[in-house]
Amino acid sequence: MRILEVGNRQTWTLFHRVPHIVYQQTPNWICPLESDVEKVFNPATNKTFQNGIARLWVLLDDSGKPQGRIAAFIDKQRNIQQDFPTGGIGFFECVENEDYAKALFEVAEQYLVEEGVKAIDGPINFGERDKFWGLLVQGFEFPPLYQENYHLPYYRRFFESFGYRPYEQVLTLKGIVAEIPCERIHTLAQRVRERYGLTTRSIDPHNLPLYADHLRQVYNEAFRTFPYFKPLHSHQILDMLKQLRPVMDKNMVCFAYEGSQPVGFCGMMPDINEYLKPVHGKLSLWKIPGFLWRLRAAKKRIAKGVAFGIHPDFHRKGVFPLMVDFLYNDTNTNTYTAFYLPTIRGHNKMMVETSFSLGVKPERVHYAFRKMLDDQTPFTPFEFMEV
């Protein structure tokens, strides 16, 4: 076997080829967009490179066929908040061959050790924690959402046999729109409006800079005390909103206000993964019209939560039911049959309890694993909930 570092179009092609070999007999797998993966490792599109480093490798067998891949990286900005330097591995894919997997882990770990890390987390994303995060350990019978990891069961054996232990639990919660307790939520929302004078409105796709700034204000206050928090800037959010605009449904986005001050946001979008399956990871220009037609022609869709936050001054003041009541309208209930709330951390009790008030249930579970490289450094996992 040979391991090549990814650094040109030829090696990128081999890197992208690996999952097609691994999952060729797995009907639930949907290939991530190759462009999405490459953006993670492009300094021009991923600001994590301003204070971070990354490398990628692909493994070839003796005949030159790609059989595995892995990425290793360090987010130095996020490490400032940590007790010790931590690296990450991600985008790992491998056929069921222990020697191949071991070789990939070793090359990634050697690189991170040389950079001075004391622990390694994986499989995770190089950047934000709302996509490509965690190893699938429960829910293999379901296809993944857009930018959600899908894996085969034997991957867990690889991680655990190489010294990785479950560190963080990441839930994907599913709810049925018709089963939302809408009458109770509407009653709560009416009380909130009367007691606190809060208002709600949707996003205006023609004034995205304004809403990007409103989202920034709430997000940075809502999550600043969370582990691994990195503040967002308005231009980052604006770029994200512009990327989402072609598939954005403004009826599925809600902002809550006290006067003119934003106090909460809840954003959902049509999950596009099922409509991307026919493109096999390559959304070229000539495939975009077909993708958009499949999306817009769908009479019933599922929704995916992409953003949620409440200003801490308004916790337990009913902002969540207020926004849900706004989103629960005839247009949305006639369009969407189910909704998913992905990347919900099992240790975030407030978010779990809030989500469960909608009648959701865990459908998939991912674990982020951690390997300690220093016996003197304590292993302290997050709290896991029973699923």
> pLDDT, tens digit, for every residue of 329-386?
999 999 999 999 999 999 999 899 999 999 999 999 999 999 999 888 899 999 999 9
> pLDDT, tens digit, for every residue of 11-68?
999 999 999 999 999 999 999 999 999 999 999 999 999 999 999 999 999 999 999 9
Domain shared by 159 and 188, yes or no: no
The CB-based long-range contact list for 233-241 (8 Å cut-off, 24+ gap) reads 234/209, 236/47, 237/212, 237/213, 238/208, 238/209, 238/212, 241/208, 241/211, 241/212
Domain shared by 29 and 163, yes or no: yes
Report the pLDDT averaged over residues 283-298: 79
Q: Quick check: is 333 in a domain?
A: no
Q: Quick check: is 158 in a domain?
A: yes
Domain shared by 160 and 185, yes or no: no
pLDDT, the chain, mean: 94
The most confident of the ranges 14-18, 47-51, 299-303, 312-316 is 14-18
Domain shared by 193 and 72, yes or no: no
Domain shared by 186 and 234, yes or no: yes
Of 327, 343, 358, the residue that ends a domain is 327
Domain shared by 133 and 98, yes or no: yes
* Residue 311 clears pLDDT 90, i.e. is over it: yes
* Residue 293 clears pLDDT 80, i.e. is over it: no
Note the pLDDT of residue 377: 87
Q: Quick check: is 341 in a domain?
A: no
Domain shared by 200 and 146, yes or no: no
Domain shared by 157 and 282, yes or no: no
The Cα 51–Cα 79 span in angstroms is 10
Strand segments, DSSP code E, in the chain are: 2-5, 52-60, 66-75, 86-94, 119-122, 135-138, 165-176, 198-201, 253-258, 261-270, 301-310, 336-345, 361-372
> pLDDT, tens digit, for every residue of 84-118?
999 999 999 999 999 999 999 999 999 999 999 99
Q: Quick check: is 337 in a domain?
A: no
Name which of 351, 375, 360, 22 is nearest 169 in CA terms.
351
Q: Quick check: is 382 in a domain?
A: no
Domain shared by 8 and 157, yes or no: yes
Q: Quick check: is 381 in a domain?
A: no
The Cα 136–Cα 150 span in angstroms is 6
Structural domain count, the chain: 2
Domain shared by 62 and 128, yes or no: yes
228 phi, psi to nearest 5 deg: 70, 10
Q: Quick check: is 385 in a domain?
A: no
Q: Quick check: is 300 in a domain?
A: yes
Range of the domain at 246: 181-327
Domain with residue 25: its CATH number is: 3.40.630.30
Domain shared by 125 and 259, yes or no: no
Domain shared by 220 and 119, yes or no: no
